Each structure stands twice: as C-alpha cells, then as structure tokens.
Copies of this chain bind each other. A is one copy, B any other.
Amino acid sequence: MPVSTRCARSAAKRDAILDAACAVFLEQGYAAASMDAVAARAGVSKATIYAHFTDKDDLFGAVIRARCERNRTFAPVGPALDARATLTMVGRRLLELLLQPDTLAVYRLVTAEAPRQPELARAFYESGPGTGKAEIARMLVDLGRRGLLAVEDPWRMADLFTGMLRADLFMRTLLGLPQPEGSSIDQAVAAAVDTMLRAFAPSPAGAAG
C-alpha cells in the first residue's frame, strides 16, 4: 500500500474525529463531553484519538480553531446600494449567522472556557466578532465616501450597529427562551437600521444632526 493512501486514510480519520468532537462538544459542553462519546461517534477507538491529539484540551482547541477558520468568509457586500438597503442586507446576514444554533453553541463553549483558555478566546474573537466588526466598518466607510451616511468613527459605529442588532433577540435565543410575539429577525434588523439612519443621516447643509 503506497504511503499516500495510508496518509489519506489517516487524514480521513483525523477529520472524522474532528467532526465528531465538534458535534459532541457543541451538544454537551466541554467538561461533559467524554472521549468515549467522541470515539464512538467518529467510529474509531479512543487510542486513535490520542494518536492524533495529545489530550482533550488539544482536541478541543483544534475543534474551535477549525470552526473559526470556516466562518472567516463573511462575504463581500455586492453591488452598490443605498444606505438602508446596504445596512439591512448586512444586518440580516449577520444576525442570521449569530442566531444559528451552531454559532450559539460555539459562543457558549468559548465564553465558558475563556477564563481557562485565554488564547482560544482570543482566536475566537479575532475570527468571529473581530472580522465581523471589520467587515461592517469597511462597509460604513464606503457608505460615508459615497455621501450616504455621516461616518466619523466607523469602528465605533460598527460597534453600535452590531450591538443594536443583537440586543434582546440574541440574549433570548442564547438562553433558549421562547421568542415573544412580534419578535423577528426582520424587525430587529429594521429597528437597528432605522436608528442608524436617523442618527447618522448625512447633513446636506453641513449642519450637525
């Protein structure tokens, strides 16, 4: 059997372990997840896991980092739209991503383990909230250049916008609570976008709003 085939087999098992570990960690949490469960789900023996990863922490780190890499592509904005359309599109895409069960599970895991694994917390922030914020800031700069929005400090504005997007909807979903009547992604996005437009409308006469 050629070496490449052996390597491919081994890499395939490694991937299977990573996938299984991801599922188990996300479902059960770090401490409650057992290496037995991961092995069973991956269809390998526990010893095989320890051949690929030094210990549970190492496996956990690999899982989180892999997920962070995957979410890096937050996509370009597309054609030139007006301020409302741009903010709405980006806002909805961000909020939909944030509310996905997997995203929430990773968020729970990383925040819970952050005090014990600060390096992992940093990697998560940079690949998640960090890049998201940078994307939004870039979009705001673009809107500012085109005279569609009064943009002084794009980073702070990105903070304000993402903060408004999350607001209560994110918290309730994170906690697994039922959403109250009349609470939807579209409405949350619309409220945030409206507020941004009202607060940062460009001043045609040069007067401050």
Q: Chain B's nearest CB lies how many Å from the CB of A126? A: 9
Annotate A166-193 by CB proximity to B: 1 below 8 A, 0 otherwise.
Answer: 1110011011110000000000100110
A171, B125: Cα distance in complex, Å? 8
Can you spell out 5 A-B residue pairs with CB atoms less than 8 angstroms apart? A108-B111, A111-B111, A122-B175, A159-B188, A195-B195
Q: Which of A105, A108, A111, A194 has the most CB of B within 10 A?
A: A111
| Chain B residues, Cβ within 8 Å of A199 | 194-196, 198-199
| Chain B residues, Cβ within 8 Å of A172 | 125
| Chain B residues, Cβ within 8 Å of A109 | 112
Q: Is the CB of A191 within 8 A of B156?
A: yes
Q: A121-B175, A175-B121, A176-B118 are in contact. Are A160 and B32 (CB under 8 A)?
A: no
Annotate A6-33 by CB proximity to B: 1 below 8 A, 0 otherwise.
Answer: 0000000000000000000000011110
A146, B163: Cα distance in complex, Å? 27
Annotate A69-111 by CB proximity to B: 1 below 8 A, 0 otherwise.
Answer: 0000000000000000000000000000000000001011111
Closest B residue, CB atoms, query A115? B176
Q: Is the CB of B108 within 8 A of A191?
A: no
Could you list which residues of chain A lie within 8 angstroms of chain B, going by C-beta atoms?
Answer: 29-32, 105, 107-116, 118, 121-122, 124-125, 129, 133, 156, 159-160, 162-168, 171-172, 174-177, 188, 191-192, 194-196, 198-200, 209
Q: Which of A109, A163, A177, A200 has the most CB of B within 10 A?
A: A163
- Copies of this protein in the assembly total 2
| Chain B residues, Cβ within 8 Å of A177 | 118, 121-122, 125
A202, B164: Cα distance in complex, Å? 21
- Given contacts A111-B112, A159-B168, A160-B167, list 17 more A-B pairs with CB under 8 A: A29-B31, A31-B31, A109-B112, A112-B112, A121-B175, A122-B175, A125-B172, A129-B168, A162-B167, A162-B168, A163-B166, A163-B167, A163-B168, A195-B199, A198-B198, A198-B200, A199-B199
